[in-house]
């Protein structure tokens, strides 16, 4: 089974993808990881793991067209069209660390990780709430409004899912896009995934699963560590944008990530970082 990680051609994503690649190398699974890079018209800073990775492809950056968060579904479309992916694959974010491989799904078409962090707030966010768009879906598909909203996280596993699923995510994103507001783009992306999952409930067997943990979880569980929220107050990935602003520290993100080790999850994070430094 293949795993697809979507990044932009920015140093901010490159330092994250280094950790993800390393975690796959530790499991002898580097050949299973495909990296999709949304090209940026500027020389890219390339690090050690990325420069040697065997499976990388480039596609048009969707930042201006729809928004940066929509490179993820667009990468899936591009990979499927170019036969880089087939029937079974996993879609990831760069700020993740592999703990153990995911098992092939047999009785479902889509398995998504659960994360309620933004969903509750999003459901009441004017202009970005999925509630504002359900009428269009119900009109098109004659669906009834008797459902529970999905609370998707960052990991999606697919089995026999058509490209149209990913195209609908971009369709909903275009309905809500706001190029000048990064927070609004994040809301739009989450809302687009929620709407698409709900829209396809009658076409696919869609199942939630707790397959990602965070750096604040004491116990290690699931298949991936997702450090989107970091380890407050010591570490957050946004402290290291690696752009013209530099970073908030004189240290690298890797150095900061190994300074505090309060639980079994951070212990595993540190093992991966130390493996990178060998």
Answer yes or no: are the C-beta atoms of 68 and 8 closer than 8 Å: yes
- How far is 37 from 232, CA to CA, in rounded Å? 29
**How far apart, in Å, are the Cα atoms of 92 and each of 71, 120, 148, 202?**
11, 22, 24, 24
In terms of Cβ atoms closer than 10 Å to its own Cβ (0-12, 13-18, 19+), residue 232 is exposed
Look at residue 46 in the predicted model and tell me its pLDDT. 60
Report the alpha-carbon angle 244-65-3, nearest 5: 80
Mean per-residue pLDDT, 50-71: 88
Sign of the torsion formed by the C-alpha atoms of 31, 34, 39 and 40: negative
Q: Could you read off the pLDDT of 5-27 as tens digits, one per residue?
A: 999 988 889 999 999 999 999 99
Q: pLDDT: is 233 or 43 the higher one?
A: 233
Does the pLDDT at position 2 exceed 90? yes
Sign of the torsion formed by the C-alpha atoms of 53, 274, 39 and 214: positive
**Count of all residues that appear for the chain in the document:** 278
- How far is 139 from 22, CA to CA, in rounded Å? 47
Mean per-residue pLDDT, 37-54: 76
| Residue 84 backbone phi and psi in degrees, to 5 | -80, -25
Closest Cα to residue 269, out of 188, 214, 208? 214
Q: How confident is the model at residue 35 (pLDDT cuts 50, 70, 90)?
A: very high
Mean pLDDT over each residue of the chain, to the nearest integer: 85
Task: Kindly state the greatest CA–CA separation across the chain.
Answer: 58
Q: What's 12-62 look like in SS3? A: HHHHHHHHHHHHHHHCCCHHHEEEEEECCCCCCCCCHHHHHCCCEEEECCC
Look at residue 21 in the predicted model and tell me its pLDDT. 98
Does the pLDDT at position 164 exceed 70? yes
Beta bridge partners of residue 38, listed in sequence order: 8, 59
Does the pLDDT at position 28 exceed 90? yes
- How far is 50 from 70, CA to CA, in rounded Å? 22
The model's pTM: 0.89
Three-class secondary structure of residue 111 per DSSP: strand
Q: Could you read off the pLDDT of 104-121 as tens digits, one per residue?
A: 998 999 999 987 555 566
Q: Could you read off the pLDDT of 65-77 as tens digits, one per residue?
A: 777 789 999 999 9
Does the pLDDT at position 125 exceed 70? no
Look at residue 54 in the predicted model and tell me its pLDDT. 94
| Contact partners, residue 140, CB within 8 Å, separation at least 6 | none
| Residue ranges in the chain assigned as alpha helix (H) | 11-26, 48-52, 71-81, 119-122, 134-141, 163-176, 182-199, 253-257, 264-276
Residue whose token pair is 């609370």: 151
Domain boundaries, the chain: 2-276
Q: What is the CATH number of domain 2-276?
A: 3.90.550
Does the pLDDT at position 141 exceed 80? no
Does the pLDDT at position 140 exceed 80? no
Look at residue 11 in the predicted model and tell me its pLDDT. 86
Q: How confident is the model at residue 190 (pLDDT cuts 50, 70, 90)?
A: confident
Three-class secondary structure of residue 115 per DSSP: coil
Rg (alpha carbons) of the chain, rounded to whole number: 18
Look at residue 150 in the predicted model and tell me its pLDDT. 79
Mean per-residue pLDDT, 89-112: 95
Mean per-residue pLDDT, 125-144: 62
Mean per-residue pLDDT, 220-227: 95
| Residue 120 backbone phi and psi in degrees, to 5 | -60, -45
């Amino acid at each position: 089974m293949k795993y697809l990680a979507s990044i932009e051609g920015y140093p901010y994503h490159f330092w994250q993808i280094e950790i993800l690649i390393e975690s796959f190398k530790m499991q002898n699974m580097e050949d299973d990881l495909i990296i999709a890079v949304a090209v940026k018209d500027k020389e890219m800073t390339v690090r050690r793991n990325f420069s040697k990775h065997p499976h990388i492809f480039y596609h048009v950056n969707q930042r201006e067209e729809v928004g940066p968060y929509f490179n993820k579904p667009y990468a899936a479309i591009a990979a499927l069209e170019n036969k880089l992916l087939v029937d079974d694959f996993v879609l990831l974010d760069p700020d993740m660390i592999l703990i153990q491989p995911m098992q092939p799904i047999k009785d479902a078409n889509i398995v998504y990780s659960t994360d309620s962090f933004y969903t509750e707030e999003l459901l009441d966010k004017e202009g970005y709430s999925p509630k504002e768009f359900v009428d269009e879906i119900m009109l098109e598909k004659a669906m009834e409004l008797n459902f529970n909203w999905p609370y998707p996280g960052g990991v999606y596993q697919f089995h026999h899912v058509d490209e149209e699923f990913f195209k609908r995510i971009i369709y909903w994103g275009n309905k809500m896009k706001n190029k000048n507001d990064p927070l609004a783009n994040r809301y739009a992306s989450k809302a687009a995934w929620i709407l698409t999952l709900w829209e396809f409930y009658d076409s696919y067997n869609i199942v939630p699963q707790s397959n990602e943990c965070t750096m604040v979880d004491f116990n290690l569980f699931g298949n991936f560590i997702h450090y989107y929220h970091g380890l407050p107050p010591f570490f957050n990935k946004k402290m290291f944008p690696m752009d013209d602003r530099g970073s908030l520290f004189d240290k690298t993100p890797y150095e900061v990530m190994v300074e505090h080790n309060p639980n079994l999850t951070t212990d595993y994070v540190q093992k991966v970082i130390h493996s990178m430094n060998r």
